[in-house]
Structure 1
């Protein structure tokens, strides 16, 4: 929960509480494995982790809600809007332009939600 709070600034708690209502085990898996075992590892900093996650979710092209959560998390840990857009643009090479375009539009929605643009 410490890593979840640090990275998500409270937004992750809301998502996991909603998930607890329908699938408590999955919520526990997300907290314990994703945040407890993986994202809390100290080898790379949270900025780098979030940029990697944004890149992967953009490349997948099927995880818009999760992408928006991690774009917001990246902002929470000090990644700039310009860095986020650059990471997403890089995905056009291997993931394709549709994935990169969808990622950029997800970033814009997240920036709008946070009143950044």
Structure 2
């Protein structure tokens, strides 16, 4: 891939990430800069520049799917916090987030869903405090 194409993917990814997460995504990327800058670039280019920028699903749907996937993993607290907030940023309601998490109890188990609901509660409370 040419440098120009990579640069376009990187800039598209940065713009999409900012649209979804606001500043929190930039902070995560900056935190990786001194340990794994290439990994940070991969997240921008592939994750947000390619996958999150695809047509076919709106951002709200993509973020609810992301929340579901992170609940199913059962070990991604930090990512789940960020992506629950991101789902709210792009138009998902708190009720939709809760229902998505509850749905995952069938596939990821009740402990994973319970942990995720408590994370969602904390995210909602933090937003209310602002």
- Shared fold (TM-score, shorter chain, > 0.5): yes
Output the aligned Cα RMSD: 1.0
Say which of 28, 48, 72 aligns to 2:85: 72
Aligned equivalent of 1:106:
119
Aligned-pair CA distance for 1:11: 1.3
- Which secondary structure state, in structure 2, belongs to the residue aligned with residue 114 of structure 1? helix
Q: Which moved more, 1:15-24 or 1:50-59?
A: 15-24
Give, in angstroms, the shift of residue 21 of structure 1.
2.4
Alpha-carbon separation, structure 1, partners of 2:39 and 2:15: 18
Q: Distance in 1 between matches of 2:45 and 2:33?
A: 13
SS at match of 1:27: helix
| Long gaps (5+) in structure 1 | none
Q: Helix, strand or coil for the counterpart of 2:34?
A: helix
> Of the candidates 7, 11, 16, which is equivalent to residue 29 of structure 2?
16
Q: What's the counterpart of residue 66 of structure 2? A: 53
TM superposition outliers: structure 1 runs of 4+ over 3 Å: none
The TM-score normalised by the length of structure 1 is 0.95
- In terms of Rg, which structure is larger? 2
SS in 2 for 1:21: coil
Q: Distance in 2 between matches of 1:82 and 1:50?
A: 14
Corresponding residue for residue 98 of structure 2: 85
Number of residue pairs matched?
A: 116
Gaps of 5+ in 2: 1-13
